[in-house]
Amino acid sequence: MVDSLRQVGKNQSSSERRYSISSRALTAEHLAASVRSHGGVENRLHWVLDVSFGEDASTVRKDKSPQNLSLLRKIVLNLIRLGAADKSKTSLRLKRKHATLDDDVRLRTLGLTPL
């Protein structure tokens, strides 16, 4: 069980209690690190998929299409993060845009070489 207290500025604080199941016996420090790292998943994956790829705004609802598009978005995100095409520190949005406009960048992002 983890009790967390959040206060932003001088606003009223909010508390939350979360329960987790683990097969490992963890010290308080290791448990706290694990809980904090789980928040990184939200920031590093879900938030990026929503902001950069507009996943929450997607209107695709039929059959397996939402799952298929979600998988493709994650593949593209991982390819861009690998940085095979662009080592610059530009945003994901700009890296995607460069790949759509330039065939060479797109091929390098996909790890392909022209014949």
Element (H, E) at 18: strand 14-18
Q: What pLDDT shows up at residue 89? A: 79
Q: What pLDDT shows up at residue 86? A: 60
Of 92, 88, 91, the C-alpha closest to 74 is 92
Q: Would you say residue 84 has pLDDT above 60?
A: no
Q: Would you say residue 85 has pLDDT above 80?
A: no
Angle at 60 between CA 54 and CA 61, to 5 degrees: 130
- Whole-number average pLDDT of the chain: 86
pTM: predicted TM-score of the whole model, two decimal places: 0.64
Element (H, E) at 109: helix 103-110
Segment 42-67 mean pLDDT:
89
pLDDT in tens, 96-110: 888 899 998 888 888
